Structure 1
Amino acid sequence: MNNNQYSLIEAFGNGYKKFGHSNLMGRVVGLMLSNNGALTIDEICEALDITKTPITQICGRLVDLEIIRRVWVKGQRKQHFEIADDVFVRASINQSKLYLDNLDIAERHLEKFLIAYKNAVGKEKQSLKLICTRLIIMKEYTLKLLAADKEFIKSWESEKEKLPDVDEYLNGR
């Protein structure tokens, strides 16, 4: 592994940690991104100097998240894994699922607090109004965010086609 690949792997580890995932999960993604071809669990373990059990668990989770995929390699019995073609779209969709959870929280609790607000008086009503306002903001913000994410993902495929190839990118397009 060269210094550039090592640096990328570590950067992905740190990045995934900031998103609440394990550093190791990010390192696996970084390794898969920087590798040409499919890797076995043993090869991933060797490259990252990690034991088999956590790598197996993380690869399973990354397959579930559709960040990597299992591939069959002719003449090989071991499972191989490679990065998904649309890895960044998948990561964005996975993040949007967390926003959906926030939307669910806002909607479920807003309904209850609105009923309580409607029936309250005095200081209790004043206190509930503030909570309802915050939940309305949470709900509406999340709805707009999800709509923007959906629109961006929809437009990305055509935008992706317009990207320069590596040589064009290197030469300033």
Structure 2
Amino acid sequence: MSDHPKLTQQIVADFAEGYSNFGLNPLMGRIVGLLIISEDPQSLDDFVEKLEMSKGPISQICRRLKERGLIEKVWIPGDRKDYYQAADDIFGKAYANQINKMQKNIEIAEKYLMQAQSMDSSSAAFIKKQMKIMKSFYELMDEYNEKFMDAWEEKHKEITE
């Protein structure tokens, strides 16, 4: 695994737990944890060996992580296997994925706010009020997230140059 197998195992286990805490598949966390501490790209066979899991679920999770922009497939000359590495700024990309999910809540609030606008009753008024609160909450969160991502991009540049 590395020069420090116990540390690697702990990191992989903690990433699995962290991903699970966000309602995601723990295997995603294991793969991400392993990749961010691996200096070299890893093949599916490497994951099978190091994570002691079968290739099918690993391949499926790698596809999902790639779709989310968290890992990248890399080519190694002379080798026909698929290799993966953590995407540059994997943490910023993971956070951006969460932001996109939260932004959908604005759309939900707008959808039901519009529907409730055409209704005339006390329950419709209550729904409008709740949807306005929800929309305002997520719009404010979106503003802060935008500022945070701008600050993070500067910080990321600073620490990676």
Shared topology, TM-score over 0.5?
Answer: yes
Partner of 1:156: 152
Amino acid in structure 1 at the alignment position of 2:23: G
Residue 58, structure 1, aligned to residue 38, structure 2:
no
Deviations 1:10-30 (A, max 9, x none): 111111111111011111111
Q: Distance in 1 between matches of 2:126 and 2:143?
A: 26
Residue 41, structure 1, aligned to residue 37, structure 2:
no
Q: Distance in 1 between matches of 2:48 and 2:89?
A: 24
Structure 1 vs Structure 2: percent identity of aligned residues? 32
Unaligned stretches of 5+ residues in structure 2: none
Deviations 1:67-115 (A, max 9, x none): 0000011111111000011101110110011112211111111110122
Q: Distance in 2 between matches of 1:78 and 1:150?
A: 38
Unaligned stretches of 5+ residues in structure 1: 166-173
Partner SS state of residue 29, structure 2: helix
Residue 134, structure 1, aligned to residue 130, structure 2:
yes
Once the 2 structures are TM-superposed, how far is the Cα of residue 157 of structure 1 from its aligned partner?
2.1
Partner of 2:6: 3
More divergent stretch after superposition (33-42 vs 125-134): 125-134
Partner SS state of residue 118, structure 2: helix
Q: Distance in 2 between matches of 1:27 and 1:133?
A: 42
Q: Distance in 1 between matches of 2:85 and 2:160?
A: 24
State the structure with more CA Rg. 1
Equivalent residue pairs, number: 158
1:106 corresponds, among 69, 93, 109, to 109
Q: Distance in 1 between matches of 2:100 and 2:127?
A: 24
Partner of 1:26: 29
RMSD: 1.6
Confirm or deny: 8 A CA contact 2:19 2:28 kept in the other structure: yes
Q: Distance in 2 between matches of 1:23 and 1:56?
A: 14
Q: Distance in 1 between matches of 2:55 and 2:16?
A: 18
Once the 2 structures are TM-superposed, how far is the Cα of residue 164 of structure 1 from its aligned partner?
9.1
Once the 2 structures are TM-superposed, how far is the Cα of residue 61 of structure 1 from its aligned partner?
0.5
Once the 2 structures are TM-superposed, how far is the Cα of residue 142 of structure 1 from its aligned partner?
0.9
Confirm or deny: 8 A CA contact 2:89 2:156 kept in the other structure: no
Once the 2 structures are TM-superposed, how far is the Cα of residue 130 of structure 1 from its aligned partner?
2.1
2:70 corresponds, among 64, 67, 76, to 67
Partner SS state of residue 153, structure 2: helix
Question: TM-score, normalised on structure 1?
Answer: 0.86
Partner SS state of residue 69, structure 1: strand
